[in-house]
Amino acid sequence: AQSVSQHNHHVILSEAASLELGCNYSYGGTVNLFWYVQYPGQHLQLLLKYFSGDPLVKGIKGFEAEFIKSKFSFNLRKPSVQWSDTAEYFCASHTGRRALTFGSGTRLQVQP
Amino acid sequence: GAVVSQHPSWVICKSGTSVKIECRSLDFQATTMFWYRQFPKQSLMLMATSNEGSKATYEQGVEKDKFLINHASLTLSTLTVTSAHPEDSSFYICSAGVTGGVEQYFGPGTRLTVT
């Protein structure tokens, strides 16, 4: 069965610091990958997605992610975080089955 | 973009009672909807796949007789938590996808508290 791993459970950064959140997936076939963000008290919002093509994907709010097939990774990056980026971040994968498989999430806390 | 709504957004019920949660796709038709559960500070866990006009498919460990799912139309799926207990307290989230598409659109979630 496919699985998604997020190794950073809680990340604390100062404003303007660079961010990289790790995500690894287990499925060896064709896979679609997503990053979602959940701000406190709000619902999931899609940050970015990878289906095919350019492995460097740009999303909303200055986020980007790079799909590295050889490493089964899809890490999320942002050059300079803001206090408003404080949230829970979820990596998810989708294969032939339509439901998403979510990672355990990473809580990002940005200190002003 | 596609919008999914859930109702209610927040419900408190007494142990032993049943609660119904609605999930609606507002501006698109969804033959398949998904129900997830999220415990505090944890990830989303798929509970079941709701298929319009047929029986839902439940994940291993999810009691189908306790979590009744009805997908009566292309825009509405309901999750009924029967004989709720405090351990059922959680955040329930539905998602839906456009027929034939890959991307999922998530509802805002329903927070259930069983006292």
Percent of chain A at pLDDT above 90?
74
CB burial of residue A56 (10 Å; 0-12, 13-18, 19+): exposed
Shortest CA gap B41–chain A (Å): 8
Query: What residue type is assigned to position A87 of the chain?
Result: A
Nearest 5 degrees, angle CA B66-CA B81-CA B79?
105
pLDDT values of chain B reduced to their tens digit, one per residue, 115 residues: 688 999 999 999 999 999 999 999 998 888 889 999 988 778 889 999 988 888 899 999 999 999 999 988 889 999 999 999 999 999 999 999 876 677 788 999 999 999 9
- pLDDT for res B85: 96
- Of the pLDDT bands very low, low, confident and very high (cuts 50, 70, 90), residue A98 is low
- pLDDT for res B29: 87
- pLDDT for res A4: 93
Tokens of A54: 């350019």
- pLDDT for res A96: 66
- pLDDT for res A34: 95
Nearest 5 degrees, angle CA B107-CA A105-CA B113?
50
Do the chains contact at B103 and A44, CB–CB below 8 Å?
A: no
Shortest CA gap A98–chain B (Å): 7
Q: Look at strands A24-25 and A87-94 and give their pairing.
A: unpaired
DSSP state for residue A57 in the 8-state scheme = E
Percent of chain A at pLDDT above 70?
96
CA A70 to centroid of chain Cα atoms: 18
- Per-residue pLDDT reduced to its tens digit, A25-71: 987 778 899 999 999 878 889 999 999 999 999 999 999 999 999 99
Contacts of B109 in chain A (CB under 8 A): 43
Do the chains contact at B46 and A32, CB–CB below 8 Å?
A: no
CA A108 to centroid of chain Cα atoms: 11
The contact set of A with B (CB < 8 A) is 32, 36, 42-44, 46, 49, 51, 90, 94, 98-105, 107
DSSP B24-92: EESSS--SEEEEEEE-TTS-EEEEEEEETTS--EEPTT--TTTEEEEEEETTEEEEEE-S--GGG-EEE
Q: Look at strands A64-68 and B90-97 and give their pairing.
A: unpaired
